[in-house]
Amino acid sequence: MAPPCHGRRRTLACLTALTAFGLLGASVYLFIEIQDLVAALSIVSVLLVRLDQTLVAGLPTGALAVAQRLTPYLDFLSMGPAVISMVLLLGAAAAAVGRQGQRSFCCAKLFVALAELALLVALTWYLGVTSAALMADRPVLTEQWAAFTAVCVEEKPLLQQAVSEAQQSVDTLGASGTPGATASAQAALAAAQAQMTDFDELCTALDDVPSQVLRLRGAGLASLVATLLALLAVNSLCCAAGCCCRVRAARVAPEPAPAPSKPTGHADEEPLDEEDLVAP
């Protein structure tokens, strides 16, 4: 019959494996939900380069620069820490229920340490995502975002005026202008219309960002809870397997001292005195 501690380790190892797969499922959920936000931020990054910089000078360039650098890694961040943590959690569970020995003990301790490090990274990321999603519809943030994107309201009339003037110039030169002047006017009109289209697309993407962040509440909370459960499970497994403390060498009882051998002959009798040797 297996000792009780071995059964407890096996139970906690199964629980650790379940939390590992739960963490993977939550990260897949977040990966799916974050795709719209990734697409919007990618559009913003591209259009900020194509637009005339005087049009976007009023945008928060510092925050947008951080978003531009972070956007290519959002897909990895949504699943990467969870996948790495899952592999390490499964390794810790397997090592904890394996053959008990110095090598298995060190292997379990290494997997637990690496799993906790990966889970702390995942916890930090999921906590940030959840906090941003829960605060996305708060008035203080919506008002701040409206102030950031006020350029969309302020600059649009200027772009519309530039398009109207370019169109008017084309109409005027179309009847009496030279071919070169007409071609130049048409090129200016095409450029103004392209700027107007890109500006509208940029503003639409920026307006969609708060609602897309808000959609991450469920996935962020699920990932956060799954990470906390995985931390609880792997720490419980660590304590049950004894890898949170030093290895104690097994105590060996000292061998009993050998019993003294009995001498042969009359060694048990008392020695004779000289008087006993004298005949009566």
What does the block give as tokens for 166?
């370019």
The residues, any chain, with a CB within 8 Å of residue 43's CB and separated by 6 or more, are: 201, 202, 205
Q: What pLDDT is attached to residue 108? A: 77
Cα torsion through 176, 181, 182, 184, rounded to 10: -160
pTM of the model: 0.75
Do residues 128 and 66 make contact, with C-beta atoms less than 8 angstroms apart? no
Instruction: Quick: pLDDT tens for 4-39.
Output: 455 677 888 899 999 999 999 999 999 999 999 999
Do residues 154 and 120 make contact, with C-beta atoms less than 8 angstroms apart? no
Do residues 94 and 13 make contact, with C-beta atoms less than 8 angstroms apart? yes
Q: How far apart are CA 18 and CA 25, in angstroms?
A: 11
Residues of the chain with pLDDT under 70: 1-7, 61, 98-105, 174-177, 241-280
Q: What pLDDT is attached to residue 256? A: 56
Instruction: Quick: pLDDT tens for 116-151.
Output: 999 999 999 999 999 999 998 888 888 888 888 888
Q: Write the CA distances from 91 to 88, 94, 227, integer angstroms.
A: 5, 5, 17
Coil vs helix vs strand at 229: helix
Q: What pLDDT is attached to residue 85? A: 94
Query: Letter for the amino acid at 63?
Result: A
Q: How far apart are CA 175 and CA 180, in angstroms?
A: 13
> 141 exposed, middle or buried (CB, 10 Å; 0-12, 13-18, 19+)?
middle
Q: Write the CA distances from 79 to 115, 160, 219, 221, 254, integer angstroms.
A: 15, 43, 12, 15, 56
Q: What pLDDT is attached to residue 247? A: 47
